[in-house]
Amino acid sequence: MISQKMIKLINNNSVIRAMFEEGNRLAKEFGRENVFDFSLGNPSIPSPPSVNEAIIDIVKTEEPLALHSYMNNAGYPAVRETIAKSLNKKHGTAFTESNIIMSSGAAGGLNVVLKTLLNPGDEVVVISPYFVEYGNYVGNYDGELVAVPANRVDFQPHMETMCQAITKKTKAVIINSPNNPTGAVYSESTIKELSKLLTDKSNVYGSPIYIVSDEPYRELAYDGTEVPYITKYYKNTLVCYSWSKSLSLPGQRIGYIVVPSEADDYELIFDAASIATRTLGFVNASALIQRVVAKCIDEQTNIEAYDTNRKLLYNNLKDLGFEISEPKGAFYLWLKTPGDDKDFAKAALKYNILVVPGSAFTCAGYARIAYCVSKQTIENSLPAFEKLANELGVKK
Ligand code: PLP
């Protein structure tokens, strides 16, 4: 018999797999253009042309043996230095290559960081609704996930509940802003309050509680919304960044971890995370793509296109009478379902609309609508949403 942990995961996977299969079935029956699939967080905007140009240039100009070789587990020093300088320019930080470890996307970075921090039984606090993989990642290292509900107005963390949830077993708090699934961006005052809470708790318990800042959506913020850089507020922050969304490179598996020099046990963390990169089997982040992101360090995806989708969908769904908290970042809209969220997703399917029920993010009563689709898909979907609103008796 295979691993019991994996048997459980196979069983839990069935909701998402069923939705994926349903999308394909509908596409076959009605044609892809008549199916409004808002279920996946896959970027809909191609990478900037400079990405492919960089790949071609690097392949043409680098010596092949060197280009494809192993390297330091932390990644190329020159690439890490380029990233450090770019962060310093943007955020007024003082990082060097010694603060950066290249990772296989944010998922790889989170696993490396959790492997580095956790002993069995250590608690990791997450703010619900949350990216459900956190539970799997924490479980990989026999940690315990503790979910604390965000407030239901703008989905910022609720400090009093956080305060009650943090115990002497708490090793880390994972935050994700801009947020999947709510689209919330944590304000500066939220970050300040959280930093104070964790500083106080760390002092009381006599051991550091780390913030693990999961940042695949850092660049996707709208209406001039600031996304505070967490290490500036809380020294025990480990950042897991990714280019999956900011350069539309999710299949290439590239990101980095920031370990600030001021963090408690900085040297231990840096060394352990470099080793974890190896022992978890990543060995190092992809050689070619490391060089590519360094060359494209000032590039980013076409955020205006996501913003256009956001406004189009948000305004129209609001006009139809749906209750939604205005998303400020990422590419998700978080809709309060008029009744049960699974029933809502089922009703939406009748009109070929695919959304993810909030319970898949441990938050029943909501649905996530991923607007990383073409503008035309949104335009074509609006009559279908209207029919859905009518069927459910949503009040205008
Ligand atoms: N964290 C969150 C909140 C995500 O939404 C995702 C992907 O959708 C990830 C992490 C994983 O991103 P990556 O592709 O960089 O591993």
Residue type present at position 29? E
- Ligand 1 centroid–CA 107 distance in Å is 6
Does the beta carbon of 216 lie inside 6 Å of ligand 1?
yes
Max CA distance (Å), the chain: 65
- The tokens describing 280, both together, are 């978890």
Does the beta carbon of 180 lie inside 6 Å of ligand 1?
yes
Pairwise CA distance, residues 245 & 227, whole Å = 16
Q: Which residue in this structure is represented by tokens 């299949």?
A: 251
Closest ligand 1 atom to Cα of 105: 15
Beta carbons of 147 and 134 less than 8 angstroms apart? no
Nearest in space to 285 (alpha carbons), one of 247, 248, 242, 245? 242
SS3 sequence of the chain:
CCCHHHHHHHHHCHHHHHHHHHHHHHHHHHCHHHCEECCCCCCCCCCCHHHHHHHHHHHHHCCHHHHCCCCCCCCCHHHHHHHHHHHHHHHCCCCCHHHEEEECHHHHHHHHHHHHHCCCCCEEEEEECCCCHHHHHHHHCCCEEEEEEECCCCCCECHHHHHHHCCCCEEEEEECCCCCCCCCCCCHHHHHHHHHHHHHHHHHHCCCCEEEEEECCCCCECCCCCCCCHHHCCCCEEEEEECCCCCCCHHHCCEEEECCCCCCCHHHHHHHHHHHHHHCCCCCCCHHHHHHHHHCCCCCCCHHHHHHHHHHHHHHHHHCCCEECCCCECCEEEEECCCCHHHHHHHHHHCCEECEEHHHHCCCCEEEEECCCCHHHHHHHHHHHHHHHHHHCCCC
- Ligand 1 centroid–CA 396 distance in Å is 35
Pairwise CA distance, residues 42 & 31, whole Å = 20
The residues pairing with 15 across neighbouring beta strands, listed in sequence order, are none
> What is the pLDDT tens value at each position of the chain, 396 positions in all?
999 989 988 887 766 667 777 888 888 888 888 899 999 889 999 999 999 999 999 999 999 999 999 999 999 999 999 999 999 999 999 999 999 999 999 999 999 999 999 999 999 999 999 999 999 999 999 999 999 999 999 999 999 999 999 999 999 999 999 999 999 999 999 999 999 999 999 999 999 999 999 999 999 999 999 999 999 999 999 999 999 999 999 999 999 999 999 999 999 999 999 999 999 999 999 999 999 999 999 999 999 999 999 999 999 999 999 999 899 999 999 999 999 999 999 999 999 999 999 999 999 999 999 999 999 999 999 999 999 999 999 976
- Closest residue by Cα to atom 6, ligand 1, is 216
Q: Which residue in this structure is represented by tokens 């500083």?
A: 199
Output the pLDDT for position 16: 61
Does the beta carbon of 131 lie inside 6 Å of ligand 1?
yes
Does the beta carbon of 109 lie inside 6 Å of ligand 1?
no
Pairwise CA distance, residues 348 & 227, whole Å = 33
Q: In what order do the strands lie in the sheet with 144-149?
A: 100-103, 255-258, 237-242, 210-215, 170-175, 123-128, 144-149
Backbone angles phi, psi at 108, to 5 degrees: -65, -45
Beta carbons of 100 and 75 less than 8 angstroms apart? yes
Q: What's the distance, CA 186 to chain centroid? A: 14
Q: Please tell me the pTM assigned to this model.
A: 0.97
Does the beta carbon of 214 lie inside 6 Å of ligand 1?
yes
Output the pLDDT for position 15: 66
Output the pLDDT for position 312: 98
- The tokens describing 248, both together, are 């539309």
Does the beta carbon of 107 lie inside 6 Å of ligand 1?
yes
